[in-house]
Each structure stands twice: as C-alpha cells, then as structure tokens.
A and B are shown apart, each in its own frame.
Chain A
Amino acid sequence: NAGVMQNPRHLVRRRGQEARLRCSPMKGHSHVYWYRQLPEEGLKFMVYLQKENIIDESGMPKERFSAEFPKEGPSILRIQQVVRGDSAAYFCASSLDRGVNTEAFFGQGTRLTVV
C-alpha cells in the first residue's frame, strides 16, 4: 500500500511563473490537507479538501493560491505568479476519515524554490 505521494520533490520556478504541486493520497483516503513549512519553522495549515470539496481554506492566501481535489486524480496546489516569499516546503497529508483518533499520513513534501 503506497503512502502519500507528492511530486515533484523539488521545484524551481522563476518569479512570475506558476507552480503546480501534486499529491496522491493513500489508497482509500478521501481527506487531504496541505501545509507549508518555512525553514526551521512549524507546519502552517493551508487548506483541507475532501474529494471535490474544499472543507477549510482559512490558511490559504486569498490571492495566487488555489487547491483542488478532483473526483479522479491527485490533489493539486497551484501557486500563480510565484514570488520569492513562496519558497518553502509544501507538505500534503491524507487521512481516512475525520475521526479524532485518525492520524494523518504525510508525503515527502515538495520543496519549492523561487529564483
């Protein structure tokens, strides 16, 4: 049973370009979460999705950032017109359900560098 798969592992974009980060959750998991981690900092919640629905996007910047989790295919975090401040590690996690005793499984992360 494959774990959470994120790709690419490393992504370099020039300022103004678009970044697309992909996340395939664990098999059977329909809940996906995106977090951002700056160097030497904790995980900042960005968005929580459940198949085709955005449950909570309270941590997502209002502009340039969007996320989706279509019925078929991976979840996508999209950053338009990237700026240097977007450079960070972006982690995706998935869980089986909304139970409080359900752990989240994390992908390896995508390290975005904006040059």
Chain B
Amino acid sequence: AQKITQTQPGMFVQEKEAVTLDCTYDTSDQSYGLFWYKQPSSGEMIFLIYQGSYDEQNATEGRYSLNFQKARKSANLVISASQLGDSAMYFCAMRPTSGTYKYIFGTGTRLKVLA
C-alpha cells in the first residue's frame, strides 16, 4: 500500500539552529516523486521542495534540503538556520506512478521555533 509516515507530531527548535523533520514512505514503485509542503497558521499550503526517486543528489532549496535515503525509504526535511517564521505544520507527500498518480500526504509535523 502507498503510504507516508511522519512520526513526529510536534518538534521544537531554537532559532538559528537546524532541525530535521522525519518522513518515511512505502511504495513498490520504482519511479515516484517526494514533496514537502509548509502550512502556516494562516492555513495555506506552500510547496517547499521536491525529490525524484531517480535523483542521485539530495534536493536543496535555500535553507531547505531533503535528506533522501532510498534504501531506507526516507525523505527527511532539513531546515537550516531556523527562523521564527518557520513555525508551521509541515507535510511530506508522495506521488507514485502506480494507480492514479494522486498525491498522498502524511499526518504532518508541527514545528515551533523558539526565540
């Protein structure tokens, strides 16, 4: 079954420090996409970063990087130099190529950045 698991319901990090948000996935597909989204308290969903299953290098976008370990089926999000504005809910998502290509989301991790 296609599934995304985020085991950390909540995380705290000190401002300016780095934090890792965990994401593991389950799929038997060879080709798939992995995404991270941010949902601030205002409610909108903001796309952060993408990793393809065939990408050999970890994706990076500014302060965001994705620690992709294919054998372990993990796609952890690393936020460097945390800022107060990073406080939000973070969702990991997968788009498999089997089935209907719908996006599958995890339950999310709520990150709180402390001043």
- A42 lies within 8 A of B107 (CB): yes
Residues of chain A lying within 8 A (CB to CB) of residue B52: 100-101
| B-facing residues in A32-79 (Cβ within 8 Å) | 33, 35, 41-45, 48, 55-56
Q: Does A83 count as interface, using CB distance less than 8 angstroms?
A: no
Nearest B residue to A111, CB-CB: B43
Q: How many residues of B contact A (CB 8 A)?
A: 29
The interface residues of chain B lying within 8 Å CB-to-CB of A33 are 102-103
Dominant SS at the A interface?
A: strand
The total of chain A residues at the interface (CB under 8 A) is 25
Is A104 positioned at the interface, with any CB of B under 8 Å from its CB? Answer: yes
Measured CB to CB, the nearest residue on chain B to A91 is B45
Smallest CB separation, A103 vs chain B (Å)? 5
Among residues of B, the one whose C-beta sits closest to the C-beta of A59 is: B102
State the Cβ distance, B109 to closest chain A Cβ, in Å.
10
B105 part of interface (Cβ distance < 8 Å): yes
Write out the residue numbers on chain A whose beta carbons fall within 8 Å of the beta carbon of B47: 103-106
Task: Contact check, B101 vs A98: say whether CB atoms are below 8 A apart.
Answer: yes
Q: Roughly how many angstroms separate A106 CA and B38 CA in the complex, as a whole number?
A: 11
- Decide: A108 and B44 in contact? CB cutoff 8 A: yes
Question: A55, A91, A101: which contacts B33 (Cβ < 8 A)?
Answer: A101
Residue contact B107 to A35, C-beta cutoff 8 Å: no
Give the residues in chain A near B102, CB-CB below 8 Å: 33, 45, 48, 55-56
Give B70 Cβ to nearest chain A Cβ, in Å: 14
Question: Is A89 among interface residues, defined by CB-CB distance under 8 A?
Answer: yes
Least Cβ–Cβ distance between A12 and chain B, in angstroms:
17
* Per-residue contact bits, chain B 75-103, to A (CB 8 Å; 1 contact, 0 not): 00000000000000001010111011111
Task: Give the residue name and chain of the A residue nearest to B46 (CB).
Answer: A106
Listed in ascending order, the chain A residues whose CB lies under 8 Å from chain B are: 33, 35, 41-45, 48, 55-56, 89, 91, 93, 98-106, 108-109, 111
List of 9 A-B pairs having minimum Cβ-Cβ separation, nearest first: A106-B45, A100-B33, A56-B100, A42-B107, A43-B105, A98-B101, A103-B47, A48-B102, A42-B108
